Amino acid sequence: MENIIVYAIPVFLLLIAVEFGYGYLRQRNTYQLADSLASLSLGVISQLVALVTQIFQVGLYFLAYRAFALFPAARFWHGALGWITAILLFDFFDYWLHRFGHENALGWAAHSVHHQSQHFNLSTALRQESTVALLGWVFYLPMAVLGVEPEQFGIAGLIVLIYQFWIHTEHVGKLGWFDRVFSSPSNHRVHHAVNDQYLDKNYGGMLVIWDRMFGTFAEEKEPVVYGTRTPLNSWDPLWSIFSGYQQLLQNAAQMPRWQDKLKTFIKPPGWRPPGMAAPAPFDLEAARRRYETELPKLARWASGVQFLLLLGAAAAVLWVSDGQSYRWLLATSVALLAGFWALGAFMERRLGAALMLAIDVAAAGVLAYALMAA
């Protein structure tokens, strides 16, 4: 599976370049360098985290399949209809996981990473969560019980995930009947919006019919404002991943009763018990102001080169990861994570070029040793 991801990387980058070029020529650029590099970094990090959390990615599904499958190795699953059914089942359960990620505070702490960008483009599609799998595996267990083999489950999930790449764009308008059945750019722009009328709508990965069935559909009408209602205002990937949990813990600490502290984790994001002051009203106009950092031209080039080097190293790790020890996977992932953190801190101008280079050299030493030993 990791090799498929490596093959997909140049395709994703090519399509991102095409979208950027198209927007530039049309004088409607939807990209900002630091934001795009931050999104792409989080996508790579999610794949590295997956290497060291395999028990949650596929391991628990495999155990459930072995223990509870009602129709293991049934011929049905190997035919075309079986594959279509497996993909539809994954998309259906993914709808409920996605909905949980918005409507439950703990789920939102994990999922909010994908929504933090205030831009909407193909790089946003790759801004993937790293901790959703720790809870998300539960939602797919019915597929294991029905007898969908782990390999088929993984491929079905990959198909649903890759489909969603193209719907993260502002350059495709409404598509008529297609918008009524499938997740589309128009439908997904609504999903990434912080506007009141769009909030927590259009969860479907491939099909938007789930949203129509369960009352969570909204049509794109007014202009969309992207991001999260509590803006991240950072390019730091570690802060991006953990800021939602930090905010959740802060909210729980403010609760006077222990029962309410626990409810903070299972209620919707921002929940307050009766009698407690509500948070300040959301200001849509303030949300339109995008977080920016001024980088000199040389720093922008350095950031781009740093990312490409890290991407190449990560691709090499993913390529040879099969059969490696857990210690090897953990060491290489941590080394790369240090490099991505340094890149984010450099783009925020919290870290100088010399210190970023020193971290890069240390990370490169760990990676070189590990790759030669692989």
Residue 182's contacts (CB-CB under 8 Å, 6 or more residues apart) are: 206, 207, 208
Name the token pair of 173: 């308008």
SS3 169: coil
Sketch the domain layout of the chain as residue ranges: 2-214, 297-373
Nearest-angstrom CA–CA distance, 319 and 236: 26
CB 51 within 8 A of CB 333: yes
SS3 162: helix
Q: For residue 351, which phi and psi values (nearest 5 degrees)? A: -135, 130
- CB-side neighbour CA atoms (13 Å) of 90: 24
User: Which DSSP letter does residue 221 get?
Assistant: -
* Residues of the chain under the 70 pLDDT cut: 1-2
CB 205 within 8 A of CB 236: no
Name the token pair of 272: 């307050």
Which helix (H) or strand (E) segment holds residue 331: the answer is helix 326-347
- Angle of the 237-254 helix axis to the 326-347 helix axis, nearest 10: 90
Nearest-angstrom CA–CA distance, 137 and 131: 11
Q: What is the pLDDT of residues 20-51, one digit of tens each?
A: 999 999 999 999 999 999 999 999 999 999 99
Q: Exposed, middle or buried, 280 (CB in 10 Å: 0-12/13-18/19+)? A: exposed
Q: Determine how many CB atoms are found less than 10 A away from the CB of residue 247.
A: 17
Q: For residue 291, which phi and psi values (nearest 5 degrees)? A: -70, 130
Nearest-angstrom CA–CA distance, 151 and 159: 12
Nearest-angstrom CA–CA distance, 61 and 55: 8
SS3 43: helix
Name residue 337's amino acid: L
Whole-number pLDDT of residue 1: 62
pTM of the complete model: 0.94
Nearest-angstrom CA–CA distance, 63 and 339: 35
Whole-number pLDDT of residue 2: 65
Residue from 312, 303, 93 nearest 214 by CA: 93
Whole-number pLDDT of residue 74: 87
Q: What is the pLDDT of residues 142-197, one digit of tens each?
A: 999 999 999 999 999 999 999 999 999 999 999 999 999 999 999 999 999 999 99
Beta strand ranges found along 48-125 (DSSP E): none
Q: For residue 226, which phi and psi values (nearest 5 degrees)? A: -100, 160
Nearest-angstrom CA–CA distance, 193 and 342: 30
